[in-house]
Structure 1
Amino acid sequence: MVYYSIHTKIKGVKNTIAERIQDFLKQFPPFSLLSKEELLFVSSQIRVLYLEKGAYVFRQDEQCHDEFYIVREGAIGLYRTTGNIQNFVDICDSGDLFGLRIMIIKKNYRMAALANEESIVYAIPSSVFKPFIDENKEVNNFLLETFATHARNYFTETEKGKKIDNTITIEPASDLSTLRTISYRKKPLICTSDAIVKDIAIEMNAKKSDAIVVVDDQKYPIGIITDSDLRAKVATGLISTESHVTEVMTTPVKAYSKKITVAEAQIALIKNNISHLCITKDGTRNSKTVGVFSNHDLLVSFGNNPSVLIKEIKRVKKIQRLRYIRKQVERLLTTYLEQDIPTMHILNLISEINDALVVRTIDLSLQEMDSSPPVLFSFLVIGSQGRREQLLITDQDNAIVFEDVEEIRYTETQNYFLELARRITKNLHTIGFEYCPAEMMASNPRWCMSVSEWEKQFRDWMTTPTEESTLLSSIFFDFQAVYGDTDMVNQLSDVVFDGVNKSKRFLGLLGVSALQKPSPLGFFKQFLVEQNGEHKDTFDIKIRAMMVLIDGARILALYHNLKGINNTLLRYEKLAALEPNNKELFESCAKAFRVLLKFRARQGLMHKDSGRYIQLNTLSKNDKLKLKRCFRPIRDIQEVLRVRFQLKTYM
């Protein structure tokens, strides 16, 4: 295993090799961020390495080289040896950087890099490239992100909590929660100066309000009365309940514009030692009152504490308030993504908040009903929320299972839960969860049944599968109970796994569905986009990329009888332990799915949609490369399904 190198340094004469290198490098970040002259200079200092298959660029624990590398042709594998076992970490092909420790940490290599096939690699001296890192923030960030990607692939699993000691500086992420404008309570309670204390106290209690603004004829604020004012001045007997509000109110009020930031509002509350700010049209006391902002609102504004949001959700009395909190969750997600919080951590936190939103919605919907539920029931979420992978609000996918009743009572019982479901789905829609276009919601009689009817339906899907039932199985078998009785849900889970154990053919049909998902890339590795319809010329990241990974994890989880594990990442983690021979594949599937989840979430937040359909012309070269790297495991997991279930016999 030998390699050859060619130095391409220019000494005052035109160098065609350097120009060819420049033409290649300018296609890829961070080199695409340099000027033509800068890039030609870098290209002139590069060594060209020709490596035979199996040749090492560097070995694990070897002293860090004074250069880093980019693959010109071929493929370089990154491997980590533990004991006597060499574990695959990542693969680098044309345009991929590796060996960046010299630019980041300058310690011995923690992985080995060797040619998986005959390859050409460019070696870039660190001393040549370092000035561009110091001068160009985008170059700095790209190199750091690329290094972190390789590092996380290994270290995230083995050295949790450890931080990379970077010599490249990064500006600390700003606390976005304090820089955004406040979300205040609109349409505040108001009264005039001749109002009686007793009357406004009754109104505050009825409206569950902790403050009322006293206004003049033009609705300019002249004072404010809070719960604490009533306790301190009225409940103690200092002022009579029959007094006018002017004797109790705090005046003058502190008025601010609705454009005040959370940080500014916090300072104003602390500085003035008050609990409420009055929000007016122009930010002065001489304009119309439009809202109130309180200490409690401030607490909720600090959305980087999920427990605060969940506590607030449990206290909410009106559905509309839940919509406001859901907006806070979107801001929380934005902050998490910008701070690059681990994917599983984000999923767990957002899922807990989403579950709390659903639970509170059901509680409030039950209060709207004329009577209590006639029997025990459970509310199920399915699809992405059932897998605890719903970062952005998308369509509703839910169902109700209720306790078995005598046949004579069945219609009446089902009608009760259909009405309850109608209220729940309507209220979820108010919060921001769109109605499912296919009506896969509990308000549909098909998805609101007794436990026995559900069991029968699940068995029918598995024993006499059709194209529709196979599709429905892939959706409904990722269910999770978020409200009500769990025993019935466990019964349904037992039915699913019992049916799978009796019919491997059913898993084969699910596998065929996974194989038939449209490919993300064409023959020449170009993105395949939608050819017609509303989303023409966009890339469907859900169907063309994410769903195969989701389907593969589900099918293999059913194959191994992995009960109680719905999340795709957790499924792959468990599968890697159960099938050591496929460990590298399952780990690469999990890595790809993490990247795709975050990518879709960022796209959705940026364009204020589900993030599913992506305009490729809006993506940078770097983003496109990231996506393409995620597609590598898709074909491999499809091949596992094809071989495991002998799918050619079903196609």
Structure 2
Amino acid sequence: MKLLLHNGQSTDVTSILRKVTPFHLLDTKVIDTIIEKAEIREFPKGSYVFRQGDPSLQTLFVIVSGSAEVTVLNEQDREVVVGRRNELDFFGETVFLSEEPYSACVRAAEDLTCIVIPNEIFENILSHNADFTSSFSRILADRMRNVYFALITENEPGHTPIEQPMRKRVANLMSAPPVTCAPEDEIQAIAEKMTSGGVSSVVVVDKDGKPLGIITEKDLVGKILARGDFLKRITASTIMSTKLLTVAPGAFYYEALLIMVRNKVKHLVVIDNNKLVGIVTIRDLMISRSTGALSIVNSIEEQTTIEGLAKASKEIDKVLQALVSENATSREILKIITEFFDRLTRKVIQVCEREMIKEGHGAPPVAYSWITMGSSGRQEQFVKTDQDNGIIYENVPDDKEEEVAQYFHVFAEKVVEGLYQCGFAKCKGNVMASNPFWCRSFKNWREVITEWLNKLDSENVRMMTIFLDFRHVYGKKSLCDLLRNFVTRSFQKSSTVLLFLAKDDLNHRVPLNFFKQIITEKSKEHRNMVNLKGAACVHMVDCLRIFSLREGIVDTNSFSRLEQLAKRRVFSPDDTEMFASAYETLMMFRIRQSLYQLSIGKQPDNYINPNELSKKDKAALREAFLAVDRLQNLTGHAFYAFVG
């Protein structure tokens, strides 16, 4: 038994190692074998355990006490901190099983005590413990990706390491304490508070400091001066807006941005543990950035023509570039870009509604829901891709059906053309609302869905795959929600259709060879390349969709579906983490490749050459493919095994 001083007590080294992930997956005998060969080393604060470029010591370091910083040298030979390892973490893993030099430095941030494990015993453990090996590989891939993104951010032209606004917290942006008033305070006094405090809003609070409402400059102008009420005795409670939009101080910049964009507001009240702690405004967010992302929201809202919207939409590409340069995650990027695209789509629809009235067609004869499908339906669109949209309109009497259908056909053609002018290409497969097949009454949609379920041929399976990620964008949302509920109930009752959807996906597997290396294409045009969308992302999307349909999950976003499936324990925590990390990695590779192709005047095609990637990037990509392969295997066990 090896003992060392841990937290002031003499402790068995074996018991410490059992607490370390993924060593907790090993049985006691295996851990005892490791400890027999391991040794204890100490490193004083500020000393380097090893430096970037040093030959591999072929040992793994497990921290018993203290902490360490992982740093790399960027292209300017400046040391950049890319990670930190704390008690019960390990480091040295990137070259632990190879003879390559260290790709990073590790420096003791404080006095450091480590268990040092030689690789000769470790290789034997990897070959005989599958769960341990899988967990260790995922940790390795995640850390490689973190280093990758940190270096990308450092090497962006004009990048300053301190400024990463999208990663800032609301607490760093808000004004605190906020200017407040009581419900009975008169408007004159409130106006004076705004002027003296140099603020654009005042939060109305009760005697306990609980927020009741907010008064903005807009309220003063719109509710008092514009109505000529400024001579009357008016109190805060009379004109305050009671619909308070709140955000937590720990929320990221992008989350505050999304709330403002979605709700067309310029002020958010910051609440912590039910207490008012600050206020964040659109101006606070704009000051923290130089890209002008928020001005794009206003620019889109101000437009009254398709031509104006087409011009404003070009600015969205700059937001994408800024988000990538600020090291936002792909999930954050997808959320924000989706909000911009949705807002743009809604404005195009509104302009077309006015055009229909102006041209004598009149207002829509019945309520409708404009839906979007595909990557847009999943809220995973990051560049302007082909349109996939449709219309669900309210049921009408049979004698009115043709007239109403004709109205929406003309209207849909206008919207599709407007979106085309804004940069969204027309779908080559004609999956657009201008095609009568994708523009139906609620009743007709139910009928066609039932027909798909009853006749499971390849064409109907293809239609379902296109349609099933539909999402409401504009109009009467309840029509979309009701149809979603119908789809969910129908698919839950039909196990056969789920089996066919599984079979459709599993007819094509992730391109990995016998040795689990990525297989690239042999065609002349894309020789030695792989399509990230078709080879991996599509399978991730398909499999998560099938499981979600079975479980009655209505979310369409792949990350949200995965979270919901994890809550239902469809996947283990380790698998959930693996799949989320894989999809994050794949989407980030796609985003960066698309930006590169756009910068050189090419249309994004999702192709990438793995051999042109660094070793770390290639390893991260391979791990992502392995994760998708495992998801397909799980799908096969759950569904495909029962298909003849």
Partner of residue 315, structure 1: 302
Flag the 1:592–1:91 CA change in 2: closer, same or farther, 3 A: farther
2:331 is the counterpart of 1:344: yes
Q: Counterparts in 2 of 1:448-487, with a 5 A limit?
A: 448-487=439-478
The superposition leaves residues 177-234 of structure 1 with CA deviations (integer Å, 9 ceiling, x where unpaired) of: 9xxxxxxxxxxxxxxxxxxxxxxxxxxxxxxxxxxxxxxxxxxxxxxxxxxxxxxxxx
Amino acid across the alignment from 2:578:
S
Flag the 1:416–1:531 CA change in 2: closer, same or farther, 3 A: farther
Partner of residue 185, structure 2: none
Flag the 1:481–1:104 CA change in 2: closer, same or farther, 3 A: farther
Deviates more, 1:435-444 or 1:335-344: 335-344
Unaligned 5+ residue runs, structure 1?
8-29, 50-56, 69-78, 122-142, 153-169, 178-298
* Secondary structure in 1 matching 2:572: helix
Tell me which of 594, 615, 622 is aligned to 2:616: 622
Task: Give the whole-Å Cα distance in 1 for the aligned partners of 2:113 and 2:437.
Answer: 58
2:642 is the counterpart of 1:649: yes
Q: Per-residue deviation at 1:386?
A: 0.6
Task: Give the whole-Å Cα distance in 2 for the aligned partners of 1:621 and 1:584.
Answer: 25
Partner of residue 47, structure 1: 57
Amino acid across the alignment from 1:588:
M
The superposition leaves residues 160-181 of structure 1 with CA deviations (integer Å, 9 ceiling, x where unpaired) of: xxxxxxxxxx95277999xxxx
Amino acid across the alignment from 1:440:
V
2:474 is the counterpart of 1:497: no
Partner of residue 599, structure 1: 589
2:577 is the counterpart of 1:587: yes
Task: Give the whole-Å Cα distance in 2 for the aligned partners of 1:144 and 1:502.
Answer: 39
What is the TM-score normalised by the length of structure 1?
0.59
Q: Per-residue deviation at 1:526?
A: 4.1
The superposition leaves residues 460-484 of structure 1 with CA deviations (integer Å, 9 ceiling, x where unpaired) of: 2223222122222122111111111
Flag the 1:630–1:450 CA change in 2: closer, same or farther, 3 A: same
Tell me which of 330, 333, 344 is aligned to 2:320: 333
Flag the 1:320–1:92 CA change in 2: closer, same or farther, 3 A: farther
Task: Give the whole-Å Cα distance in 1 for the aligned partners of 2:610 and 2:144.
Answer: 25
Check whether the contact 1:520–1:528 (CA below 8 A) recurs between aligned residues: yes
Q: Per-residue deviation at 1:623?
A: 2.7
Amino acid across the alignment from 2:146:
T
Tell me which of 626, 630, 640 is aligned to 1:632: 626
Task: Name the structure, 1 or 2, with higher relative contact order (CA <8 Å, separation 6+).
Answer: 2
Flag the 1:464–1:108 CA change in 2: closer, same or farther, 3 A: farther
Q: Per-residue deviation at 1:517?
A: 2.8
Flag the 1:528–1:48 CA change in 2: closer, same or farther, 3 A: closer
Partner of residue 172, structure 1: 161
* Secondary structure in 2 matching 1:482: strand
Q: Per-residue deviation at 1:449?
A: 0.8
Check whether the contact 1:6–1:48 (CA below 8 A) recurs between aligned residues: no
Over aligned residues, Cα RMSD in angstroms? 4.3
Amino acid across the alignment from 1:479:
F
* Secondary structure in 2 matching 1:440: coil
Q: Per-residue deviation at 1:148?
A: 7.1
* Secondary structure in 2 matching 1:118: helix
Check whether the contact 1:365–1:424 (CA below 8 A) recurs between aligned residues: yes
Flag the 1:146–1:425 CA change in 2: closer, same or farther, 3 A: same
Task: Give the whole-Å Cα distance in 2 for the aligned partners of 1:112 and 1:571.
Answer: 41
Flag the 1:454–1:112 CA change in 2: closer, same or farther, 3 A: farther
Task: Give the whole-Å Cα distance in 1 for the aligned partners of 2:353 and 2:504.
Answer: 39
2:387 is the counterpart of 1:388: no
Amino acid across the alignment from 1:118:
N
Amino acid across the alignment from 1:625:
A
* Secondary structure in 1 matching 2:424: coil
Flag the 1:537–1:108 CA change in 2: closer, same or farther, 3 A: same
Deviates more, 1:490-499 or 1:100-109: 100-109
Check whether the contact 1:381–1:398 (CA below 8 A) recurs between aligned residues: yes
Task: Give the whole-Å Cα distance in 2 for the aligned partners of 1:586 and 1:549.
Answer: 12
Q: Per-residue deviation at 1:489?
A: 0.8
2:91 is the counterpart of 1:102: no
Flag the 1:104–1:394 CA change in 2: closer, same or farther, 3 A: farther
* Secondary structure in 2 matching 1:414: helix
* Secondary structure in 1 matching 2:474: strand
* Secondary structure in 2 matching 1:514: helix
What is the TM-score normalised by the length of structure 2?
0.59
Task: Give the whole-Å Cα distance in 2 for the aligned partners of 1:144 and 1:635.
Answer: 16
Q: Per-residue deviation at 1:588?
A: 0.9
Partner of residue 411, structure 2: 420
Amino acid across the alignment from 2:558:
T
Flag the 1:581–1:408 CA change in 2: closer, same or farther, 3 A: closer
Task: Give the whole-Å Cα distance in 1 for the aligned partners of 2:543 and 2:116.
Answer: 30
Partner of residue 607, structure 2: 613
Check whether the contact 1:530–1:537 (CA below 8 A) recurs between aligned residues: yes
Q: Counterparts in 2 of 1:274-293, with a 5 A limit?
A: none
Task: Give the whole-Å Cα distance in 1 for the aligned partners of 2:101 and 2:460.
Answer: 45
The superposition leaves residues 530-574 of structure 1 with CA deviations (integer Å, 9 ceiling, x where unpaired) of: 3448655531110111111111211111111112x1111111122
Tell me which of 526, 530, 539 is aligned to 1:548: 539
Q: Per-residue deviation at 1:300?
A: 13
Q: Per-residue deviation at 1:504?
A: 1.2
Q: Per-residue deviation at 1:109?
A: 9.6
* Secondary structure in 2 matching 1:465: coil
Partner of residue 426, structure 2: 435
2:446 is the counterpart of 1:446: no
Partner of residue 346, structure 2: 359
Task: Give the whole-Å Cα distance in 1 for the aligned partners of 2:444 and 2:116.
Answer: 57
Flag the 1:332–1:67 CA change in 2: closer, same or farther, 3 A: closer
Flag the 1:373–1:603 CA change in 2: closer, same or farther, 3 A: same
Task: Give the whole-Å Cα distance in 2 for the aligned partners of 1:337 and 1:583.
Answer: 28
